[in-house]
Amino acid sequence: MHLFVTAIGTDSGKTLVSAILTKALEATYWKPVQAGEPTDTQTIQGLIPDVKIIPELYKLAIPASPHFAASQAGINIDLHELRIPPLETEHLVVEGAGGLMVPLNEKDFVIDIPQFLSLEVVLVVNLYLGCINHSLLAINEINRRNVRVKGIVFNGDLHNDSAEFIAQYAGWPVLAHIPKLNEITPKVIAQMAQELLPALV
């Protein structure tokens, strides 16, 4: 199983979800485009000490949209340079940067990565006032591009009927609902991974 974790916006919980998926599947983790420090790869390594990692292809210093961070470093992010190397595990979890419509360069966006690499999308929806609008726009764009979808993960405290409405509109499986966590530790990740695994198989 090769999954791509994206979200309706920045700071939606992609790294948390990626950690849970990686632990559940005993997968290899890859963040091909990283902007800023500390890196999400470092976070994953802290939460899953024995995780298999593919190093970042583009590791950018400025914590900004990849297209801008890359341009400031004199780099052009080339979608066609992305290749999945031989894996030590059966499964792969690839984490995107920001929301799904974040630009990589002048013509490519984050959502182009799963299309190019033939990955199934896991859409992370963090629950807040306004998330329905952002989620439906994301769902429409994913459908417009005919991207394969594994399912939705809701992140945060339930907000009215937002999650139910979004799930019904999408018509995709809901893989998990992650409540607001007081702490994120390897033990918490392992527990949530065990709970999530049945939804993946």
Tell me the CATH number at 170.
Answer: 3.40.50.300
Q: Which two tokens stand for residue 183?
A: 């702490």
pLDDT tens-digit readout, 18-54: 999 999 999 999 999 999 999 999 999 999 999 999 9
pLDDT tens-digit readout, 75-94: 999 999 999 988 989 999 99
Number of domains in the chain: 1
pLDDT tens-digit readout, 124-169: 999 998 899 999 999 999 999 999 999 999 999 887 799 999 999 9
**Which one of the listed residues 14, 23, 31, 150 is annotated catalytic?**
31
Known active-site residue 31: yes
> Nearest-CA neighbor of 92 among 38, 60, 52?
52
Q: For all residues of the chain together, what is the average pLDDT?
A: 94
pLDDT tens-digit readout, 99-134: 999 999 999 999 999 999 999 999 999 999 889 999
Q: Which two tokens stand for residue 67?
A: 């297209």
Full domain range(s) for residue 42: 2-200
Q: If residue 178 lies in a helix (H) or strand (E), which one and from where to where?
A: strand 174-178
Output the pLDDT for position 125: 97
Buried b (16+ CB within 10 A) or exposed e, 58-73: bbbeeebbbbebbbee
Give CA–CA dist 148/193, Å, rounded. Answer: 22
- Residue partners of 150: CB distance under 8 A and separation at least 6: 1, 3, 120, 121, 122, 173, 175, 200
pLDDT at position 11 over 90: no
